[in-house]
């Protein structure tokens, strides 16, 4: 199975996990010139830009470690573009979450990083 298909399966599981916790999924795989945001959702009045990372084993480290500063910057720039495109830059509360999936264990990190 290729990486894209595996990623899609785990993003589906992450989206379901988030919905069970009250998130309203707005968009998935939002692509920009800067990069991609896996999931964009509302959590109450807050827009959440969510990165999903999966690891089947520890040989490549834990999934949280893969959301490095470079990845954070890409997500942040893509989020700014999304907010400008759809909300004209309105002052809507936003945060950046990470869903880390290790084997079959799902962990949610709300406000995992700030605007870069």
Question: What is the CATH classification number for the domain harbouring 59?
Answer: 3.40.1350.10
- Structurally, how many domains does the chain consist of? 1
Residues 14-49: pLDDT tens digits?
A: 999 999 999 999 999 999 999 999 999 999 999 999
pLDDT over 80 at 63, yes or no: yes
Higher pLDDT, 114 or 70: 70
pTM above 0.85, yes or no: yes
Report how far apart the first and last C-alpha atoms of the chain are (Å, whole number): 34
* Percentage of the chain modeled with pLDDT above 70: 91
Determine contact, residues 5/93, Cβ cutoff 8 Å: no
């Amino acid at each position: 199975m290729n990486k894209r298909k595996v990623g899609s399966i785990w993003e589906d599981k992450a989206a379901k996990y988030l919905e069970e916790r009250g998130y309203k999924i707005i968009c998935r795989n939002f692509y920009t010139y800067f990069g991609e945001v896996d999931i964009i959702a509302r959590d109450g009045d807050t827009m959440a830009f969510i990165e999903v990372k999966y690891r089947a084993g520890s040989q490549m480290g834990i999934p949280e470690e893969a959301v490095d500063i470079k990845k954070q910057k890409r997500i942040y720039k893509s989020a700014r573009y999304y907010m400008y495109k759809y909300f004209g830059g309105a002052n809507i509360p936003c945060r950046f979450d990470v869903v880390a999936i290790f084997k079959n264990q799902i962990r949610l990190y709300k406000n995992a990083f700030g605007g870069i």
